[in-house]
Amino acid sequence: MIFPASGFSWVMKSKTSKAVDLGELPGHASRRLQQYAALQEVANQPGIAQRSLAGAVGLDTSTIAGVTDRLEARGLLARSGAGPGAAGQARPGFTASSATLEGGVRVDVPLRVFYAGDYPTLVRLYAALGVASEPVSYATSFSGADGRLFFRYRNGRWGDRSLGYLAPADLLLGPSSLRILGGLLSFNGLAVPALRRGELKGLSIGDHVAAQRCEPAFVEGFLLPAIATVCTCSYTHARPFPAEVIVDDLARRLLADASVSEARLLEPVLQTVHPLRQPNAASAISRSAFERPVVGPDSAPALQRLRVLHAESERRLWFCGSHAQDGIPLLESAVRSAHDLAERLGAALD
């Protein structure tokens, strides 16, 4: 369409000190970076849903709509239809990062495995949305850079509960296996009562295990790898995590409620994060990059300040996300944060 001229022009209300050449300061063109990010993510995940694309490149849904419209107008993107996962067809339960397998089966990246007792708000949300889940085993093995197994525990079901245990063969993996088991039992026997007495407040998990002189094989071979795996972080970032958060989480995982996952696959697939040995590139279905907030000694005071801000009577801006709740910043804390905000807006989850 052609529109008539508006009939007016623009002038500054106050004079600037000097003229600025926008060619030398091209910040106004930064939306080109948004377009590049969108194109690259579509190349990484062909057929990605528009809502998922927004999350993957860090834009809100209204902004990504404008970005994709401009790219489509330039002939650089094409809509792939209205099937599951197409633009505007969000599927409950799937995160912004997912992979599509043969036959159209979509899998979360990372795969969602959770404990119902640890994730009550998430479980309620899944039930409301009709997201399916099924019991899975959370048996875990630990191996070194040489690929040799040095510790393993299994998963047994007792009614509606899952319990971790070691089989006799697991104790024959070597002397480090026995040291890890002894360190684990000692750690639980001391740390859990200390948590209940409030003695871990203000301590990092690194400080706590150092003060208790915990078995090094347990710390280096089990505790830090477990924290790094659950929180997707390095050992350096794992040590400053609050001791009360880690002890509470670990105690509940060792005596966990039934472990469930929303993934139902027609064929087995393997997901790996920071693998010790790189998989065959030819067999890779998808590669994704994601970031997760880490928790340190400054986290609790910052959350308290955030709660004070949110309690302001005239507040119209709230912060929402896994980083805005106590505990390990995982799905449950993200959902609780969103639920708290929804309650303020009169849309609480029933």
What's the pLDDT band for 86 if we cut at 50, 70, 90?
very low
pLDDT of residue 102: 67
Of 90, 108, 129, which one is at a domain's C-terminal end?
Answer: 90
Please state, in angstroms and rounded to a whole number, the distance separating the CA atoms of residues 330 and 159.
Answer: 27
pLDDT tens column, 190-202: 998 999 999 998 8
Q: What is the DSSP letter of 66?
A: H
Is 312 a domain residue? yes
pLDDT digits (tens, 9 = 90+) for 133-151: 777 777 888 888 788 889 9
Tally of domains within the chain: 2
Other CB atoms closer than 10 Å to residue 182's CB: what's the count? 13
| CA–CA distance, 80 with 251 (Å, rounded to integer) | 47
Instruction: Give dist(CA 47, CA 231) in Å, integer.
Output: 29
Cβ(80)–Cβ(47) under 8 Å? yes
The three-state (H, E, C) secondary structure of 287-304, written as one string: CCCCCCCCCCCCHHHHHH
Q: Which two tokens stand for residue 79?
A: 């809509």
Query: Does residue 35 sit within a domain?
Result: yes
The domain of 326 spans 299-344
- For 200, 203, 301, 318, the CA distances from 298, given in Å and listed in that order, are 15, 11, 6, 20
pLDDT at 278 > cutoff 70: yes
Indicate the pTM of the whole model.
0.64
Q: Does 322 map to a domain?
A: yes
What confidence tens digit (pLDDT) does each residue in 206-258 have? 999 999 999 999 999 999 998 888 887 888 889 999 898 888 877 666 555 44
CA angle 129, 271, 79 (to 5 degrees): 60
Distance between CA atoms of residues 42 and 47, nearest Å: 7
313 found inside a domain: yes
In a domain, 59, yes or no: yes
Q: Which residue, of 90, 108, 134, is where some domain finishes?
A: 90
Q: Among residues of the chain, what percentage have pLDDT more than 70? A: 73
- Cβ atoms of 324 and 335 closer than 8 Å: no
Q: Evaluate whether residue 64 is within a structural domain.
A: yes
Q: Are 258 and 135 in contact (CB under 8 A)?
A: yes
Token pair belonging to 113: 């495995």
Compute how many other C-beta atoms are within 10 angstroms of the C-beta atom of residue 160: 9
Task: Measure the CA–CA gap between 337 and 325, rounded to whole angstroms.
Answer: 6
Q: Is residue 250 situated within a structural domain?
A: no
- CATH of residue 39: 1.10.10
CA-closest candidate to residue 139, choices 259, 237, 45, 269: 259
Query: Is residue 182 predicted with pLDDT exceeding 90?
Result: yes
How far is residue 184's CA from residue 280's CA, in Å, rounded to a whole number?
A: 35
pLDDT band (50, 70, 90) for residue 34 = confident
Q: 91 near 108, Cβ under 8 Å?
A: no
**281, part of any domain:** no
Q: Which of 127, 57, 47, 56 is nearest to 89 (CA)?
A: 47
19-42 burial code (b ≥16 CB/10 A, e <16): eeeeeeeeeeeeeeebbebbbebb
SS3 category, 107: strand
Which of the listed residues 64, 90, 116 is the one where a domain comes to its end? 90
**Average pLDDT over every residue of 160-172:** 79
